Chains A and B, each alone.
Chain A
């Protein structure tokens, strides 16, 4: 059961550029386990949208099935949401985006929803480069069915049941980069200092933006032998870079030194300044990004931050050459060629 949060609002709550408070971006109270990483991600989404001053009604929340896919009920209560079926969110998001190219699409999925049952749809939405933010709340296990390993569980990692996972894991970030995604990032639900800017940058990116967020399952997979536990991730994460995300229309006031800082201008005019932690990683180059992921894997480290970014790609609408006008606003006048055209056409069939 979902229940609304209390309606009381303090008159002095800070407001964003649209005059909304953070409360305007909240949803119903969460029904997930206390301490679930997913709730932290929901909060990060709320913060990112509030801080970017996005109009809540201009956002559509999409999800599949699973613990992760329930979360759209817990953020952005003034936005339309669509909790579809298991592993099929990408297709629903594709159709929705085709109908209205002007909304911001935030998809939420899990590791089961994406890397197993929804793998087919996931790889193809990457190929199509649909303009959306695709967040994977990645805990390496199936929570709602009580803790089975998922396809992102690392080999040898063990959850509450104690049996080490014998299968190779799927790295969704590496896969997405290989498939040509233009924005791939990895965050950690326990690090909102990194996660909120990652989400903002993902929203600013035009095209498919994957944000894989390691999000420990406190009930089934937060064990000492798990590589998706709070402790393990804190101990092993390394970032490609720290970065500042400057939204569009904000004045850039800080000057950065050359060499270690790389700037990427997003489609919406926002700018990302990457301050590299490791000078050898150039996240704008696909091969380099994959190498970096593999090298960290070999060292037993978890690479986080913006893993790859490429702002020069065409999104689905560009590829299909669809009109700039939202398809869902077109009327008979735009869509129906009329009887005269039909009668002329009939001559071809006589």
Chain B
């Protein structure tokens, strides 16, 4: 039986890294998006520039389930190295497209799939003289063939190419020709072969298709960041590259000079140091990095916490530990970031789940950091940062002003009736008033230090004073609870004993999994965490349920540990659902895991 259906399947492109497949595959995904059909492309790529296998997996789902589904129904097998694996992994009833320039070996003997052989090499060599172009356009030819097989509107693809090459129409021509060649070949040889279709839908009206790192960079632009220190590291590099591109366009003064300073540092220590120095001096500084960078930044995070310097960090998490798998995803820096650095330290974390939240939370992070005078870390990840996601458009309220926090200007300093102290808690919220260097000729100077200091910023080794300052920092931490975004709680069944807790890129797959379980009569309430420290609502949600599944993408259940520790939860109440192989978590994994646990509980209950 051939797989069939409209707007509900997964296609996997298997390519060789550096062969120019990325733009062709993205063209396919974008065209599905332009047909108004929910789509989620995921690039599964090696830590390599050329020659290693790379996959591009596109899930098409009318219902809008856009987490990774797992498995694939169609494969475009363009990589000899992985041909066998791609062949064997194809779902029964699936479609296997390959370049017939090479005959399939004899052991490729499945009878439950449909072969679609297209002489891609032959067509391109015949039609295009330039060997390099011919090689690249093979990718476009298979996209053209797919357009026919899936019965997609051809003009959507040609329009996409025309807009892509708007400024260089000469380059667009051979691409259109390649599309047509593929389409025609499939039309001639594979009429009615494929039963999977992509039909125009009205699911997406205002939506955009954007990667999280681009949205994060825009958040930094709109949030008023002016100084970025950074060190190249996958998967965060494109945050700064996008920030550089956007500021190059939108942050020029009348003479063309830049209203931003972006410095590629010698390492991550310096990257954060630059951001901190800038923030100390009244600009909005930030850095973007990944887990290995956070490890190096621990020293400065402790300084920023103790000396109370605002700063924003973007952690685009990848698979650890150590170098791990630099091009694969995980949510495994939770504990590292929450408690980074020696001594008693805690840091504010924000957990965006889509590009729109990347934008909003990054912009908010600058306000939050200056309000709280402490580091704020955006916990993105490779899946969110580097893959395109469908989300509502980014929006900015033009009446919004930046919250610079408690900063005294010259007039305020002069009108003070009491002696000003940098670390004096005047308002009882644990947040003190700071000054920016150069504010006043005589007033407001102080000495910033990571060594123990009193309320007036003077060095001290007085034990009581040290302890007082540490307790006041804890009071500030309590204040932070009222400022970080609240969890997104959905209670569908007040009688249920089950709750699920998740965050970031685990959200989509979790929602889908819970819908599946709901269809089987298993009702589970949900809480999507959006920030740390945890508010009372988090504790209350956990208290309300008998058992909670904490869904996350790391081995050790780091968020579960954080919840147990910070909310003082009985450990056996929180059950870990983890996924940590480096690929995005799937709905099937979550629903199966929960089902198994529930089955086991039922059996135990029956035996008692």
Contacts of A77 in B (CB 8 A): 445
| 17 sample A-B contacts, Cβ–Cβ < 8 Å, listed by A number | A56-B441, A72-B447, A88-B270, A95-B280, A96-B280, A96-B437, A102-B438, A123-B266, A317-B261, A320-B258, A327-B278, A330-B259, A338-B398, A339-B398, A342-B395, A349-B208, A349-B393
B-facing mask of A308-350, CB < 8 A → 1, else 0?
A: 0000000011001111110111111011111101110110011
Residue of A nearest to B270 (CB): A91
Q: Contact at A128–B257, with CB atoms within 8 Å?
A: no
Contacts of A329 in B (CB 8 A): 282
Residue of B nearest to A69 (CB): B449
Q: Interface segment, B221-229, B531-539, B593-601?
A: B221-229
A32 at the interface (CB under 8 A from B): no
Q: Contact at B266–A1, with CB atoms within 8 Å?
A: no
A264 at the interface (CB under 8 A from B): no
- CB-CB contacts below 8 Å: B227-264 with A: 227, 229, 250-251, 253, 255-263
- State the CA gap A335–B221 with chains docked (Å): 7
Residues of B within 8 A of A (CB): 34, 207-210, 218, 221-222, 224, 226-227, 229, 250-251, 253, 255-263, 265-267, 269-283, 285, 299-300, 303, 393-398, 400-402, 435-442, 445-451, 458-461
A131 at the interface (CB under 8 A from B): no
A58 at the interface (CB under 8 A from B): yes
Q: Contact at B269–A335, with CB atoms within 8 Å?
A: no
Q: Contact at A88–B259, with CB atoms within 8 Å?
A: no
Choose from A28, A91, A324 the contact partner of B273 (Cβ within 8 Å): A91
A170 at the interface (CB under 8 A from B): no
Contacts of B266 in A (CB 8 A): 120-121, 123-124
Choose from B257, B267, B461 the contact partner of A322 (Cβ within 8 Å): B257
Q: Closest approach, in angstroms, between the C-beta of A97 and any C-beta of chain B? A: 8
Q: Contact at A55–B441, with CB atoms within 8 Å?
A: yes
Choose from B251, B303, B396 the contact partner of A85 (Cβ within 8 Å): B303
- State the CA gap A102–B285 with chains docked (Å): 18
16 further contact pairs, Cβ within 8 A, besides A80-B445, A99-B280, A128-B263: A1-B459, A57-B445, A80-B446, A90-B273, A91-B273, A92-B274, A94-B229, A98-B274, A120-B270, A124-B265, A124-B270, A320-B263, A321-B257, A328-B278, A332-B224, A342-B394
- State the CA gap A35–B218 with chains docked (Å): 55
Q: Contact at A80–B259, with CB atoms within 8 Å?
A: no
Q: Contact at A88–B262, with CB atoms within 8 Å?
A: no
Residues of A within 8 A of B (CB): 1-2, 28, 55-58, 60, 72-73, 77-85, 88, 90-100, 102-103, 120-121, 123-124, 128, 316-317, 320-325, 327-332, 334-339, 341-343, 345-346, 349-350
Contacts of A73 in B (CB 8 A): 447, 459
Contacts of A90 in B (CB 8 A): 270, 273
Q: Contact at A84–B224, with CB atoms within 8 Å?
A: no
Q: Contact at A91–B459, with CB atoms within 8 Å?
A: no
Given A90-B270, A327-B283, also A95-B393 (CB < 8 A):
no
- State the CA gap A337–B442 with chains docked (Å): 36
- State the CA gap A331–B280 with chains docked (Å): 17
- State the CA gap A328–B253 with chains docked (Å): 15
- State the CA gap A321–B256 with chains docked (Å): 9
- State the CA gap A322–B400 with chains docked (Å): 26
Of B263, B439, B450, chain A has the most CB atoms within 10 Å of the CB of B263
Contacts of A121 in B (CB 8 A): 266, 269-270, 273
Given A94-B277, A121-B270, A327-B259, also A80-B438 (CB < 8 A):
yes
Main secondary structure of the interface of B (DSSP, over half): loop
Contacts of B447 in A (CB 8 A): 72-73, 80-83
- State the CA gap A321–B253 with chains docked (Å): 11
Choose from B34, B395, B440 the contact partner of A350 (Cβ within 8 Å): B34
Residue of B nearest to A3 (CB): B458
Of A98, A128, A336, chain B has the most CB atoms within 10 Å of the CB of A98
Residue of A nearest to B458 (CB): A2
Contacts of A78 in B (CB 8 A): 441-442, 445
Q: Closest approach, in angstroms, between the C-beta of A111 and any C-beta of chain B? A: 20
Given A91-B274, A342-B218, also A335-B439 (CB < 8 A):
no
Given A337-B250, A350-B208, also A323-B258 (CB < 8 A):
yes
Contacts of A79 in B (CB 8 A): 437, 445
Q: Contact at B398–A346, with CB atoms within 8 Å?
A: no
Contacts of A80 in B (CB 8 A): 435, 437-438, 445-448
Contacts of A123 in B (CB 8 A): 266
Contacts of A341 in B (CB 8 A): 250
Choose from B222, B276, B461 the contact partner of A342 (Cβ within 8 Å): B222
- State the CA gap A322–B448 with chains docked (Å): 27
Choose from A100, A128, A325 the contact partner of B281 (Cβ within 8 Å): A100
Choose from A85, A322, A327, A334 the contact partner of B300 (Cβ within 8 Å): A85
- State the CA gap A346–B207 with chains docked (Å): 9
Q: Closest approach, in angstroms, between the C-beta of A314 and any C-beta of chain B? A: 13
- State the CA gap A82–B435 with chains docked (Å): 13
Contacts of A334 in B (CB 8 A): 253, 259
Q: Closest approach, in angstroms, between the C-beta of B273 and any C-beta of chain A? A: 3
Q: Contact at A332–B401, with CB atoms within 8 Å?
A: yes
Contacts of B273 in A (CB 8 A): 84, 88, 90-92, 94-95, 121
Contacts of A84 in B (CB 8 A): 273, 303, 450
Given A78-B445, A103-B437, also A98-B283 (CB < 8 A):
yes
Q: Contact at B437–A60, with CB atoms within 8 Å?
A: yes
Q: Closest approach, in angstroms, between the C-beta of B145 and any C-beta of chain A? A: 26
Ranked 8 nearest A-B pairs via Cβ: A91-B273, A95-B277, A99-B283, A328-B282, A80-B437, A99-B281, A95-B278, A95-B274
Q: Contact at B281–A95, with CB atoms within 8 Å?
A: yes
Residue of B nearest to A28 (CB): B458
Q: Contact at A322–B208, with CB atoms within 8 Å?
A: no
Residue of A nearest to B397 (CB): A339
Q: Closest approach, in angstroms, between the C-beta of A333 and any C-beta of chain B? A: 10
